[in-house]
Copies of this chain bind each other. A is one copy, B any other.
C-alpha cells in the first residue's frame, strides 16, 4: 500500500473498552476509522449504517485517498440519491481486520510491532460489535437502517439478528446467511496464493528490511487472490459480453493477434492482470486472509442453534432482500432461504430478484432497478 490510510480518514474512534471476540479474546486498543455523510437529527433517529464488502472501505461516497477514485457507492449515496443524505445521516466504518485505518493485522500490537498473523481471527459478528461500539459512541440507539451488499449484507443480517433493538430495518443485497463450500473453496485458493508467496514471510513483511521488499509484501500472491476472486464477481454472460474472445490491440495500434506465447493475448487476461495488480496498491495482504476467514466462518443459523429462523426471533426490524439473477457467488437461492426464515419468524420482509448482467458485482454497478428498490425501502 502506498501511504498511511489513517492520514486520510475523516473520523477515527478509539474504543476505550476492549472488544470481546467470538474467538474468546478481548481485543484492546481497537481503532475504527469511519466516514459520515449528511446530518444526524436531534433525535438521532435518521442514521443509516452502510456496511462494506470484503475489499471495500468507508469511502462510500467520497474520493478514495489512495486511488483517487470516487466512492464505491457514490451512485447510491448523496443528496437526492436513493440513500438521500439530505434526509439521512450515513455512517460507514472500515471493518475490524481491514486496512483503511481501522485496527487490523497491519496495526501495531501492544508490543508496538505490527500484529501480522498474531492478530486474532475475527468473525462477522466481531465486525458488527465494532459497529455497535461506534453507534454507542455516536449516541445512536437505533438505526433507521443497516444496509450492505455481499459481506456488507452479512453484517446487516448479523446486526439485526444479534443486536435486535439496534436497527429498525435491514437491507441485504447480493448476500447470504452462510458461506457455501464453493465460497470457502474460492477463498481458500486466495489465502493459499498469498501464503505461498515467499514475500509473505509468515505475515511479517511490514518492516522495510523484510524480504518483502520494503514492506510491500506478497504482491504477486495478493494479485493472484484478487484475480481468482474477481472471476467470481462477474457472470459468465457478462464476461462474454464484455470480453468474449477479443484479442488485445497491440501497443502500436494494430489489431490483436495470437502471439503463440504467454503474453496477455486475450483482453480478459489483460483485464484480470490489471485487477490483480491495482488491488495491491490499496490493500494489505494480511487483511485478505483475515476477512475471508470471517466470511467463511459466517453461518448465522449455526450461531443460533442451527435454525436460521431462530436467529431473528428477537428482531424488531423490517427486512428487504435483493438478489441478482446472474450472481453465482451468492445466488438467489441464498436470499430466498433468508426470506423463508424471516417469514417463519413473522418478520416483515420483502424480497426481489433483479435482472442484471453483471453477476455479483451488480450491487455496485448501474442497475436502475436496484436504485428504485433501495430508495423505496429506505424512504419508508
Seen from chain A, the residues whose Cβ lies within 8 Å of a Cβ on chain B are 22-24, 117, 120-121, 178-182, 184-186, 188-189, 191-193, 195-198, 220-221, 223-224, 227-228, 231, 234, 236, 239-240, 242-245, 258, 260-262, 264, 266, 268-269, 272-273, 276, 289, 293, 296-297, 299, 302, 328, 331
Contact = CB atoms under 8 A, between A and B. Distances in A.
A26 B120 CA distance: 58
Contact of A245 (B178, B193, B272, B293): B178
Nearest to A329: B236
A266 B189 CA distance: 13
Contact of A239 (B23, B181, B228, B328): B181
Nearest to A302: B245
Contact of A231 (B179, B185, B243): B185
Q: How many copies of the chain does the oligomer comprise?
A: 2
Contacts of A328: 236, 328
B191 A239 contact: no
A246 to B, nearest CB: 8
A221 B243 contact: no
A260 B198 contact: no
Given A258-B297, A262-B289, A269 B193 contact: no
Contact of A260 (B23, B262, B331): B23
